[in-house]
Amino acid sequence: MIPIMSLWLPILVSAVFVFMASSIIHMVFTYHYKDLKKVPDEDKLMDSLRGFNIPPGEYVIPYAGSPQVMKSPEHQEKRKKGPGVIMTVWESANPAMGGMLVQWFVYCVVVGIFAAYIAGRALGPGAHYLAVFRFAGFTAFACYTVAQWQDVIWYKRSVKRTITGAIDGLVYALLTAGTFGWLWPE
């Protein structure tokens, strides 16, 4: 067993590698460009929504708020008429990336901490590279990808988008696994 604090170097180095890889994936490769679809008459919809001055956040239409309202005839009628919408509203269509990139790096560090915890509890000092690779890699893969899959079920997220996200997650997991195997304490 290895304490997490003894694994600070692979945690941070793997976070840096994943951060760099994700930057390359999103700036160089084009397979994420069509992840989301364009709505018909986009300008008219944007003009219409702008008039409501909706604060940033996540919304559902039609909104029930409780099981009682959801069962009401008025709400049922709204649902029949459609459309059903789940949307995220940003302050502008050009959000500041700095804060999101910092949050992404912190998330990569947290994934590294989870990988360190699992591998550190399962293995001791001087563990074989492949054993470290398996434990750290599987944990990182689960962290980077598995939560996305439920969005296909509940939020109608595109299967293609989820698969490409899983491919990204596999790359991040392999980088994490390799870093942990390389920097594992003797």
Mean pLDDT of the chain: 94
Q: Helix 129-141 crosses helix 159-183 at what angle (to 10 degrees)? A: 150
Note the pLDDT tens digit of each residue in 130-159: 999 999 999 999 999 998 999 999 988 999
- What pTM value is reported for the model? 0.88
Residue pLDDT, tens place only, 22-65: 999 999 998 998 888 999 999 999 999 998 999 999 999 999 99
Residue 93 pLDDT: 74
Q: Encoding tokens for residue 68?
A: 């009682």
From CA 60, how far away is CA 137, in angstroms rounded?
36
The answer to whether residue 94 scores a pLDDT higher than 90 is no
The token pair at 67 is 């099981």
Distances (CA, A) of 139 to 128, 145, 147, 154: 17, 10, 13, 24
Q: What is the pLDDT of residues 5-21, one digit of tens each?
A: 999 999 999 999 999 99
Work out the average pLDDT over 114-142.
98
Which H/E stretch holds residue 113? helix 97-122
- With cut-offs at 50, 70 and 90, classify the pLDDT of residue 161: very high
